[in-house]
Structure 1
Amino acid sequence: MGIKMGKPIVINRELSELDEFVLEVVKLIEKHASYVIVSGYVTILFGRSRGTEDVDFVIERIPEQRFLRMCDEAEARGFEFLNPEDCSGLYEMPVEKMGIRMARRGEMIPNAEIKFPKDYFPREALERRIPVELSGRRIYISPIELQIAYKLYLGSDKDFEDAFFLYELFKDNLDGAMLREYAKRLDVEVPF
């Protein structure tokens, strides 16, 4: 896999099934809302070998009618929602700070968890998102410094390993002041 630093970060490799799923979801969402991909898929994108069942998307809070158009288009494109509500009932979930899950029709995994920003950190990820060219297709991810600090905050072994992986991969290109500021806001220490 080739990774070229810069803005955008360029990744040239054969796409996995998970990458293909992410690109399908991105194609749908970006027609209706700004988005950012956060959490575990970001490390997988850069080559960390780890499993995940879902890909976390934070989207801007959009009006209900626009959200419903996105839901209708998702269903027309062969997706289904794993939540018990139909499209008209789904809007309240992200408004109430819950995620909705969407997968290809008839499949449970992988799925996309879609949320509106619920506090400072998801808003910051959305506002400061960074572009990645994945085999010629553009996607947006959370700033690496925020990813590292947030993974440390979550604190599981897998999250710590994700943080360490990203730190090692990007240590020569990180904004140290930004990383320290995010860590301070999350009340965590960066141990590497």
Structure 2
Amino acid sequence: MSGIELRDNTLVVRREPNQLDELAIAFSELLDQIGITHVYITGYVSILAGRARSTEAVDVLIEPIDESTAEELATMLETEGYWGPVMPLTSMYEMLANGDPIWVAPTGQVTPHLELKIVGDEFDRASLSHAITAQIDGKSIPIGPLELQIAYKLSLGAQKDIEDAVHLYTLFEETLSGSRLETWVHRLDVDAEYDRLRDA
């Protein structure tokens, strides 16, 4: 049985995991082993929720980590068969400390890849601290709260981002928290875009 349901702050995804899901699940398990708090956000959340579109990157935010933790993660990733398609994983701490994302992918693969980034602004921090759970095929990963994802997508404004927001809003309109959604809409100053979304 396939289907997607938002229930008690859990996104239940009933389908076979795809390549992106498998990448996210495996990476999440490695981060959990080291104890790094993380959350998946933006485009991948829409795809996870059934939106049919392609993406090259799975965006993942992590809490700030020190140099030794970054080295431990880089070593574990290389041991487990990952590499940095753009910068070597040994550059992880330097890249993240500079506010730059670092790409992580299964060795020899460029796409899809994970785009790993330290939380930067209040919206990143809110995604991390208010993460909900997505369950895929009995596995769990943390994803950003859908209300914030919708408002953030509206703020990005590109066609694919608006379409992502429409998809999430239409699919989960009955189970979203209207007050939380409106709070993020105001904070991100996308009231006009949100009005258009609701009227669509």
TM bin, normalised by shorter chain, reads over 0.9
Please list every run of 5 or more consecutive structure 1 residues that lacks an aligned counterpart in the other structure: none
- Alignment coverage as a number of residue pairs: 191
- Residues 113-146 of structure 1: CA deviation (Å, up to 9, x unaligned): 0011111000000000001111100101000000
Distance 2:89 2:47 in 1: 31
Say whether residues 1:57 and 2:60 are aligned partners: yes
Deviation of the 1:76 alpha carbon: 0.4
Matches within 5 A, 1:10-159: 10-32=12-34, 33-87=36-90, 89-159=91-161
Root-mean-square deviation (Å): 1.1
Q: TM-score, normalised by structure 1?
A: 0.95
**Residues 86 and 37 (structure 1), Cα distance of their counterparts in 2 relative to 1, 3 Å cut:** closer
Consecutive unaligned residues of structure 2, counting only runs of 5 or more, are: none
Counterparts of 1:95 and 1:123, CA distance in 2: 16
Provide the C-alpha distance between the structure 1 equivalents of 2:107 and 2:22, rounded to a whole number of angstroms.
Answer: 15
In structure 2, the CA distance between the partners of 1:23 and 1:125, relative to structure 1 (3 Å rule), is: same
Secondary structure at the aligned position of 2:185 is classed as helix
- The equivalences for 1:160-175 within 5 A come to 160-175=162-177
Question: C-alpha distance in 2, partners of 1:86/1:163?
Answer: 33
Q: Is the 8 A contact 2:153 2:162 kept in 1?
A: yes
Report runs of 4+ in structure 1 exceeding 6 Å deviation.
Answer: none
Shift in Å at residue 149 of structure 1? 0.2
